[in-house]
Amino acid sequence: MMTALKRDDLYSLEDYAAIRSDFRSKVMEHKKIRRVPIGPNATLYFEDQLTMQYQIQEMLRIERIFESDAINDELETYNSLIPDGHNWKATFMLEYSDVEERQNALKSLQGIEKTIWVKVGDCESVHPIANEDLERETEEKTSAVHFLRFEFSPEMVQQAKNNAKISMGINHKHYNEQIDELKDPIRESLVDDFSDPN
């Protein structure tokens, strides 16, 4: 089970500068087993303690933040994106290399974040709670980035830990794709986010 990051978990600006290259390489490798493409243009990036530590360290570095209150603000913001034993938290991105195609897609894909689903074994599909921090859609278009929280019942967690099949997909009228079965090492990495349901 993940735990929230604390001040003691973070490197000072000086220490981070010394280890940044190695730390970044470690995080990039880790992110590979937390990335789930669904079709050609949609990707879920599942967050955890390590990915959030990297985000915080980079923010502190870029903004040259060293005051306690400001560091605590960053911790509060990013700790909300760390799963807490019965959920997955993900950054959902719509990715198009062509700018015009991207603009047209964002106009036609309003509400897409609500049509994402995850299914564990023979349990009901889970749809995410989206964008709890702020609204990311206008009347004209959706955002290319959404923040999602998938909540799982104890039965779902238990089935996942017992190697039940995990599938996921998107059922939007303009984007319909699915993954029939999540494979290791991605599956193993995500199931490790769950605490023991008992």
Three-state SS at 48: coil
Q: Average pLDDT of 174-188?
A: 97
Q: 């010394």: which residue's tokens?
A: 18
> Do the beta carbons of residue 143 and residue 105 sit within 8 Å?
no
The whole-model pTM stands at: 0.91
The DSSP code sequence of 60-85 is HHHHT---HHHHHHHHHHHHTTS--B
Distances (CA, A) of 56 to 13, 22, 26, 106, 143: 11, 16, 15, 29, 23
Cβ density class 120-153: b for 16+ within 10 Å, e for less: beebeebbbebbeeeeebeeeebbbebbbbbebe
> Do the beta carbons of residue 160 and residue 120 sit within 8 Å?
yes
pLDDT score at 191: 97
- Type of residue numbered 144: A
pLDDT score at 23: 97
- For the stretch 45-74, pLDDT in tens is 999 999 999 999 999 999 998 888 989 998
Q: Average pLDDT of 93-102?
A: 96
Q: List phi, psi (to 5°) of 150.
A: -100, 120
Q: Is the pLDDT of residue 179 over 60?
A: yes
Q: Is the pLDDT of residue 141 over 80?
A: yes
In the chain, % of residues over pLDDT 90 = 83
pLDDT score at 135: 63
Kindly report the average pLDDT of the chain as a whole number: 93
Ranges of each domain in the chain: 7-191
- For the stretch 105-119, pLDDT in tens is 999 999 999 999 999
pLDDT score at 66: 86
